[in-house]
Amino acid sequence: SLIQLDMTISTLHDWSLQWVVNGYHAINKPELIKQAFFMCKAGKKFNLSFVSLTSWEALQYLCDVQKNDPAGWARIATAQYKTDGVEQATNSESEDEASTNAIGVKSLFNDASKHDLDASDMPMDALLDHMASGGEQVHSDCHINADGGLSCANHSEIYDVGDIAAEDVEGSLNSVLKVDYGCGKCRCITNSMYNDFWSH
């Protein structure tokens, strides 16, 4: 005769708890868990066991990864700064070189152009591309200062330099001291920090 299982809800309810308990007892074996991590390989020399990951050899490998594996070190150091601009080939590089240099990690700052994150006039994409390329790639509207910093080379910088030069010339011509009348707290002084260019 055929064996028929009792499929009533109460019986399944009772047995489902027993299945969970049996599964817990089946996998709650420290040696089994250690063996599972031991069988998971991490590279050619190491595995995911605690003993392997905390060994002296693993520590030595991590300390020497910058000189032993330069490509891996570049991938680790610049992965968070990769943008779409770095992935494109420059004029001096071929497509093969560009594909090996670029990693293709999604940028963490995708909404940087949508929101005004800070008061800097440096585009976030230009800054991220410059950091990801190790200081080799510079956008056309940017330049590197004498101290190695990245600054914007747009018309606002030219206007600011012209205003500063004009103020210096006027200051040297009008060397007569002006007498200020009234109490210092009551005088109305116009703000000279910003020029007309930034008022739009």
| pLDDT mean for each 10 residues of the chain (200 residues) | 67 78 87 90 88 91 87 80 53 44 51 51 77 77 77 61 51 58 66 63
Domain end among 32, 47, 63: 63
Asked, for residue 42, whether it belongs to a domain, the answer is yes
The size of the chain, in residues, is: 200
Asked, for residue 173, whether it belongs to a domain, the answer is no
Tell me which H or E stretch contains 88. Answer: none
| Same domain, residue pair 37 and 90 | no
Q: Nearest Cα to 65, choosing from 73, 57, 76?
A: 73
pTM, 2 dp = 0.32
Asked, for residue 192, whether it belongs to a domain, the answer is no
pLDDT at 82: 63
| Same domain, residue pair 50 and 95 | no
Beta strand 150-152 with 41-42 is unpaired
pLDDT at 106: 53
Asked, for residue 4, whether it belongs to a domain, the answer is no
The alpha carbon dihedral of 59, 105, 137, 143 has a sign of: negative
pLDDT at 55: 93
User: How many structural domains does the chain have?
Assistant: 2
CA distance 89 to 62: 31
pLDDT at 173: 53
pLDDT at 56: 93
Asked, for residue 170, whether it belongs to a domain, the answer is no
Asked, for residue 186, whether it belongs to a domain, the answer is no
pLDDT at 38: 92
The domain of 28 spans 17-63
